[in-house]
Amino acid sequence: MLTRRKLGASLAAVGLLATPLTARADNTKPAKIRIGVAMAGLGGRPYSLGSALSVVHAQGLLEKEFAADGTAIEWNFYAGQGPAVNEALANGALDFAWQGDLPEVVARSRGLQTTQLIVAGNRSPVYVVVAHDSKISSLADLKGKTVANFQGTNLELSVNRILASAGLGEHDLQIVNLDQNTAGQAVAEHQIDAAFVQLGIPARAQKYLKVIYHSDTAHPELTPQASFIVTNTFASAAPGVVDRVVRVAVGAAHWSSLPENQDALYGIYAKTGYPLPFIKQVFKPIDPLVATSPLWDAFQRAQLARSAADADAYGLVRTPVKVDGWINAGPLNRALAVLELENHWPQFAADGLTKAG
């Protein structure tokens, strides 16, 4: 164990030394860019769904962007979601990461040095599923029931908010910590009463389940947020590379927002192994222009601040997190200017409903 840690440490140290040597000015050409994705497809398939990063990966956009520089792109998909990404970040094994707000807040409270680049997934719906023959029909009915939540992931914050909206708290339920695949199956097999799920449940479990709640578009503040971050070590060593990566991601977000690309987008999401009909059911009701927005508008900033405050209120962090100075919209704004997309996505006020400016 110790030797492995030591080895990891030496490798990390070499990595730290190597980055500044190879990356000085804006035209840096790092040997490798390491990206962590806080999601894996069914059975560990190396695909994700729900954000522009899914498209960047599936279409090989970064590989194309950096081909001429000889920079390798290393994609790492973590079934353990955000908590697993945090461990990899702390080990110095990643440069960029796509993950949810709660794990990001948790890592920041522990002193992990990262910078927020773009929003990559917002207002993604949260469902409560029960067995098809269950008598549970509303959130209020969940009181005293055994309910799955994937704790420590950004689903957890959303679950707490949704429960609070129905006058409940986690302590009113018997919460069991299960990942979403296991949770869906456990409900289908009547082992637990209900599960909060976010993006996908296995097809074979679906026919035994019914949805009794889904977060509606009138309350975007209840939904989880995900974003794309960079380690401060990498950002200060290779700011030019950060700009290029963000430009590619914003380009992918733009592609994902166009109505004519929606079927292709769902096809990319389906590479995770989750059934296409379910993916359509989840994403069709959401306006693609809103869902794909990378902007740090007043709503997205408020969501990040709300997640930091909620993580503290629900006792998920020991040190409260300040969000000031965490977001660097510079690379995003430059990308929007270059791609002429400044007015493509709507800007929302803090409530997430009123369009601003």
Per CB under 8 A, residues contacting other proteins are: 2, 5-6, 8-10, 12-13, 83, 86-87, 90-92, 103, 106-107, 110-112, 146, 151-153, 174-178, 182, 186, 189-192, 316-318
Least spacing, CB of residue 174 vs other proteins, in Å: 6
**Half-sphere exposure (Cβ direction) of 195: Cα atoms closer than 13 Å:** 31
The candidate with the shortest Cα–Cα distance to 282, out of 211, 176, 189, 192, is 211
Least spacing, CB of residue 147 vs other proteins, in Å: 10
* CB closer to other proteins, 62 vs 148: 148
* CB closer to other proteins, 175 vs 222: 175
DSSP 36-98: EES---GGG-S---SSHHHHHHHTTHHHHHHGGGT-EEEEEE-TTHHHHHHHHHHTT--SEEE
Residue found under tokens 């009909």: 277
Radius of gyration of the chain (CA): 20
Cα 290 to Cα 325: distance, rounded to the nearest angstrom: 25
Least spacing, CB of residue 92 vs other proteins, in Å: 7
Strand partners, 76: 36
Least spacing, CB of residue 190 vs other proteins, in Å: 8
Least spacing, CB of residue 187 vs other proteins, in Å: 11
All residues at 6 or more sequence positions from 298 whose CB lies less than 8 Å from its CB, including other chains: 347, 348, 349, 350, 356
Least spacing, CB of residue 131 vs other proteins, in Å: 12
Cα 88 to Cα 248: distance, rounded to the nearest angstrom: 23
All residues at 6 or more sequence positions from 192 whose CB lies less than 8 Å from its CB, including other chains: 146, 147, 148, 176, 178, 183, 186
* CB closer to other proteins, 191 vs 261: 191
Least spacing, CB of residue 3 vs other proteins, in Å: 11
Least spacing, CB of residue 295 vs other proteins, in Å: 28
* CB closer to other proteins, 41 vs 82: 82
* CB closer to other proteins, 155 vs 270: 155
Cα 127 to Cα 15: distance, rounded to the nearest angstrom: 41
Structure tokens at 42: 């069914």
* CB closer to other proteins, 6 vs 132: 6
* CB closer to other proteins, 90 vs 305: 90
* CB closer to other proteins, 190 vs 284: 190
The candidate with the shortest Cα–Cα distance to 145, out of 96, 188, 113, 192, is 192
